[in-house]
Each structure stands twice: as structure tokens, then as C-alpha cells.
Amino acid sequence: MSKERIAIYPGSFDPVTLGHLDIIHRGLEVFDGLVIAVATNVAKKAMFTADERVELIQEAVGGDPRVVVDHFDGLLVEYARDRGAVAVLRGLRAVSDFDFEFQMASMNRSLLPEVQTVFLMAGEEHFYVSSSLVKEVAQLGGDVAHHVPPGVAEALRIRIAERGGAR
């Protein structure tokens, strides 16, 4: 009777944070499996390549058989359809996220009505954490170890050193 219910968890993940991992763990309480999908064609200039972002996520989620990490370009809804996903999973931190998320979910629904967008709330300890802030703080020499998995903290240290160090 039961068919596996897979959700796509898309994002830039540049880099993955503990907030993202919190959403992944919560998502696994709701869905049978998750495809974590790194978007390669986002306008923002990325610090890590798509392959690096995939690797950092893989390292952070370990070998959980319910999780696949992949990257995609093109439309999210097409990727979701190709993967046979029933839902797109997104994390919500604060009211400020809602406007953009509402627009995206509505647009995605107009393109592919059979795929639902499901929002999960990150734990409150992650409410203020974003990849952009993590990068900014790390670039300025601040400690982000409480907000990212150890592999990401190390990757940030190396990337920033390659670029001439924190300033």
C-alpha cells in the first residue's frame, strides 16, 4: 500500500550550516527519504563549487541511506518531477523568510501543482544562522564553529586562507 514519499530539499548550501542539517533531520521524521539538491545556477556568487558543496553535505549527513545528495540546474519543479518527489522541503527561520518563500512556493505550485511545498521550522538556536552570515563572519576572522559542521569550518578556513586570509 505505501509508496515511498520522497521530498526534495533544494538550496544553495554555500556552505551547508547546522540550520540546514536541523531541517534535514526534521524532514526525515516526515518523509521516507530526502534528495538534498544543490542548485548550481543561482545568481549569487558562490564560495564553493557545486561539487564541493555536495561533498560537504555528504560528509555532514554521513552514510544515511535515506539521504541522497545531488546537484541540479534548470527548474526545481522539473528536477522534482524527474526524481518522483511528492514535495519540496524548505526551512523557515523568521518572518523575513516568508515573503520570498511564499513567492517561490506559489510559483512552483503554478508550474507543477501536484508537488507540495512543505515548510519546517528550524530549532530556535538556528534562527539567525545563514550561509551568507557564516561566510561573512568567517571572512572577518570570527568563529563559526557553533554554526557549521566541522568539515565546513575546515573548508572555510582553507578557502579563506587561499584567498589571502581573514580581513
131 noted as active-site residue: yes
76 binds ligand PNS (CB under 6 A): yes
130 is catalytic: no
Q: In Å, how far are 12, 108, 125, 141 from 102, measured between CA atoms? A: 18, 10, 23, 35
Q: How far apart are the C-alpha atoms of 160 and 166, rounded to whole Å? A: 6
- Nearer to ligand PNS by Cβ, of 111 and 166: the residue is 111
Is residue 135 part of the annotated active site? The answer reads no
Is there a catalytic annotation at residue 93? Answer: yes
Name the residue nearer to ligand PNS (CB basis): 11 or 27: 11
Task: Supply the minimum distance, in Å, between the C-beta of residue 108 and ligand PNS.
Answer: 5
Residue 64 to residues 5, 54, 87, 109, 129, Cα–Cα distance (Å): 16, 15, 20, 30, 24
Judged by CB under 6 A, which of 28, 68, 75, 133 binds ligand PNS?
Answer: 75
Return the residue of 104, 112, 118, 145 that touches ligand PNS, per CB under 6 A.
104
Q: In whole angstroms, what is the distance from residue 12 CA to residue 46 CA?
A: 8
Distances in Å between the alpha carbon of 136 and those of 101, 125, 154?
A: 23, 19, 15
**Which residue numbers are catalytic?**
20, 44, 93, 131
Task: Summarize as ranges the residues that interact with ligand PNS (CB under 6 A).
Answer: 10-12, 39, 42, 75-76, 104, 107-108
